[in-house]
Amino acid sequence: MKKFLSLLAILLLVCLFGTLLTACKEEEKDSLVIYNWADYIFDDKLTDFKQYYRDVTGKNIDITYVTFDTNETMLTRLTKGDSNVDVVCPSEYAIQKLIESDMLLPMYYFDDDGSNEGKKFTEDFGSDIDREKYVHNSGNVEQGIIDKVSDAFGNIEITAQGGNKGKTVSMVDYFVPYMYGTLGILYNKYAFMEAEIYDAELLNRANWGILFNDNGNGELLSEKLTGNILMKDSIRDSYAATVFYLLESGALEGLTDENGVAYKDMPVGELINTVDDQLLDKVKEALTDQKAQLFGYEVDFGKDDLLSGNAMVDLAWSGDAMYAVEESWNDELEDYELAYYVPHSTGNIWFDGWVVPKTCNPAHLAAVKLFINYLNRPDVAAANLYEIGYSSAVKSEAIKSDDDARAVLAENYVVYAPELWDVTDENGDPIPQDECDFASWEEFELYFFHNSYVDDDGETVSYDEISDSNWRYPFESAALNADNYRNIDSLGVMRDFGAQNKAVVTAWNYTRSAGVNALPLLGYTALAVAVVVGLVYVIILVKRARSHKVKLRDRE
């Protein structure tokens, strides 16, 4: 199905470029081609951007919006070199690959002071851009993300042939973060209650072991979990989850990498990027053992299986999980059936960000940069945040302190906040306070940014001490809830597998093929065939004997 979709996307892309090229010659309009994930922007914001563009430059702009469904589709498209797209939004490891292949233009969004060989983010802006109206929004981006990316991708070596070969660059100069999310465990809360494992202490001890039905001491977490675990059909995510599990379960105790550094002493970010043969063997072993506990591997049917009770737990990304949780509202239980849990001590965090391929149309560069900067405006970020469900790279203070952004959230989440919006339904009738989903902005802010509420005693408490279902601002909720405490240092960013890619693919292929043995099947079939042939033969023999007898009798 994915293949079909990507084929469709490519077809569309081809058609769009075809029409675009002819259209350009006819009209005096600026244009911009955006290549993004499907469902990864609040659609109205594209129209709003056209308006904004007109305000700033006095010109109209045509936007061509094309989507992709996997980083690999996008990479294939871009590396072919004929893709005329101006701005792309890949994940961090795909950006790493693009930088290594020297396919991206540096932007210097975060140091726009000309310190980079005199190059500035705004240098492509022509005279028709109203500098008064342009606000550089780089300050709105969460510093923690920039630091994380600098740590993990600060020294990328360009390996492609050409003038830049061997140069070391930092990803921060090339990309502007857009959304981020975490890897975690999506589970059916009520199934967990039934299995009597819905307990903070138990789950925190089991940690990533939940996916392996291991309670943290090498014993089964619950017999009911056997055959009800889903794993993501994705090498990268499964690898990360397994490494964390190995670390947490103590399987890496006493093991060191080739430089003699103990795995358990490595920071998380370093550990998941240490893909050596020893670790790979361990991962392979754990994943193979895990198969006995699995319901199966999923690509996009995981949510349905969890809701229908086919499976109890799945490895999931925060945005998918958030969407699944919101979809899982059960009127009878008056609760969400699904919940999302991110183990406290280790985890994986990823980023998607905007980059500009070298094959872009140079005449579109100003529009590209205006667009990227526009997305970091608090109200635009708030709308995208609401629409997409992942965490926005725009920091929460910027959103909380911006009236427009608050208005966007208040309206979409139906918050009773007359100071922000006019609190009316679609017919224009006012909504009374007790019919709003949130009685005040303060209540909403506690829920949305901190996953908490004020109880009857006036204390701020977490909605659920196990579940981290509200992971829009994970580090904010961490700061407010001791129960949910985790810090950004415990989350590692994963790089591309690089030279080990082949070994990892081989290991994954091995894991997937293990545990399936069709030989007994052959045995049974051979047996069945033998029985049938034997029966037929016996029947024939009996018949022959009988007719022989008849003949003998006739002769007599």
Rg (CA), the chain: 29
| Angle formed at CA 296 by CA 295 and CA 297, multiple of 5 degrees | 145
CA distance 174 to 95: 9
Helix-, strand-, coil-residue percentages of the chain, each rounded to 5: 50, 15, 35
109, amino acid identity: Y
Q: What is the smallest separation between the CB atom of 518 and other proteins, expressed in angstroms?
A: 4
Considering only 266-274, 345-353, 378-386, 499-507, which stretch makes contact with other proteins by CB under 8 A?
A: 499-507
Helix (H, G, I), strand (E, B) or coil at 316: strand
Distance CA 294, CA 511 (A): 13
Two structure tokens written together for 432: 């009374």
End-to-end CA distance of the chain: 75
Judging by beta carbons within 10 Å of its beta carbon (0-12, 13-18, 19+), is residue 271 exposed, middle or buried? buried
DSSP letter assigned to residue 106: -
Which residues, 6+ apart, have CB-to-CB distance to 404 below 8 Å? 378, 379, 382
Applying CB under 8 A, what is the total number of residues that bind other proteins? Answer: 45
Quick check: 501 binds other proteins (CB under 8 A)?
Answer: yes
Residue choice 29, 358, 543, 549 for contact with other proteins (CB under 8 A): 543
Q: Which of 299, 454 has the CB closer to other proteins? A: 299
Taking CB under 8 A as the rule, does residue 549 contact other proteins?
Answer: no
- Per-residue mark of binding to other proteins, 260-299 (x: CB under 8 A): -------------------------------x--xxxxxx
- Residue 37's H or E segment, with its range, is strand 30-37
- Using the minimum distance from each CB to other proteins, give the nearer residue, 238 or 376: 238
Residue placing its CB nearer to other proteins in the complex, 439 or 531: 531
**Nearer Cβ to other proteins (286/366):** 286
Minimal distance in Å, beta carbon 72 to other proteins?
A: 5
Stretch that binds other proteins, among 50-58, 120-128, 322-330, 516-524 (CB under 8 A): 516-524
| Chain-centre distance for alpha carbon 42 | 17
**Does residue number 310 form part of the binding site for other proteins (CB under 8 A)?**
yes
Determine the Cα–Cα distance for residues 490 and 167; give it in Å rounded to an integer: 30
CB of 74 to other proteins, least distance (A): 11
3 near other proteins, rule: CB under 8 A:
yes
CB of 2 within 8 A of CB of 299?
Answer: yes
On whether the CB atoms of residues 319 and 390 are closer than 8 A, the answer is yes
By beta-carbon proximity to other proteins, the closer residue of 62 and 100 is 100
Instruction: Verify binding: residue 307, other proteins, rule CB under 8 A.
Output: no
Smaller CB distance to other proteins: residue 127 or 161? 161
Token look-up 């007359």 returns: 418
Site string for other proteins, 50-89 (x = CB under 8 A): ----------------------x--x--------------
Token duo for residue 75:
């990479």
Task: Assess contact for 208 and 231: CB atoms under 8 A.
Answer: no
Please give the structure tokens belonging to residue 54: 């007109």
Q: DSSP string spanning 514-550? A: TT---HHHHHHHHHHHHHHHHHHHHHHHHHHHHHHHH
Shortest reach from residue 2's CB to other proteins, in Å: 7
**CB-based burial label for 512 (10 Å; 0-12, 13-18, 19+):** middle
Residues in contact with other proteins, shown as a per-residue x/- string from 202 to 241 under the rule CB under 8 A: -------------------------x--x--xxx------
- Residues 118, 162, 513, 553: which binds other proteins (CB under 8 A)? 513
Nearest approach, Cβ of 97 to other proteins (angstroms)? 8
Residue 507 sits in the site that holds other proteins (CB under 8 A): yes
Q: Let me know if 550 is exposed, middle or buried by CB neighbors in 10 A (0-12, 13-18, 19+).
A: exposed
Geometric angle at alpha carbon 95, from 353 and 17, rounded to 5°: 80
* 1 belongs to the binding site for other proteins (CB under 8 A): yes
Choosing from 15, 363, 454, 505, the residue that interacts with other proteins (CB under 8 A) is 505
- The answer to the question of residue 152 lying near other proteins (CB under 8 A) is no
Query: Pick from 529, 530, 533, 550: which binds other proteins (CB under 8 A)?
Result: 529
Tokens 């983010």: give the residue: 121
CB closer to other proteins, 329 vs 537? 537
**Between 14 and 262, whose beta carbon lies closer to other proteins?**
14
Which H/E stretch holds residue 397? helix 396-400
For residue 547, the minimal CB distance to other proteins (Å) is 8
CA dihedral defined by 532, 538, 540, 544, rounded to 10 degrees?
180
**Toward other proteins, which CB reaches closer, 144 or 296?**
296
Closer by beta carbon to other proteins, 454 or else 526: 526
Which of 334, 521, 555, 556 is close enough to bind other proteins by CB under 8 A?
521
- Regarding 8 and contact with other proteins (CB under 8 A), the answer is no
| 29 touching other proteins, by CB under 8 A | no
Q: Which is nearer to other proteins, 308 or 487 (CB)?
A: 308
Does residue 537 touch other proteins according to CB under 8 A? no
Give 269's contacts (C-beta < 8 A, 6+ positions apart).
Answer: 148, 151, 152, 491, 492, 493
Minimum Å gap between C-beta 213 and other proteins is: 15
Which range, of 10-18, 22-30, 303-311, 464-472, touches other proteins by CB under 8 A? 303-311
Q: What are phi and psi of 298, to 5 degrees?
A: -125, 150
Q: Which residues are at the interface with other proteins (CB under 8 A)?
A: 1-3, 72, 75, 227, 230, 233-235, 291, 294-299, 305, 308, 310, 499, 501-502, 505-510, 512-514, 516-519, 521-522, 525, 529, 532, 539-540, 543, 547
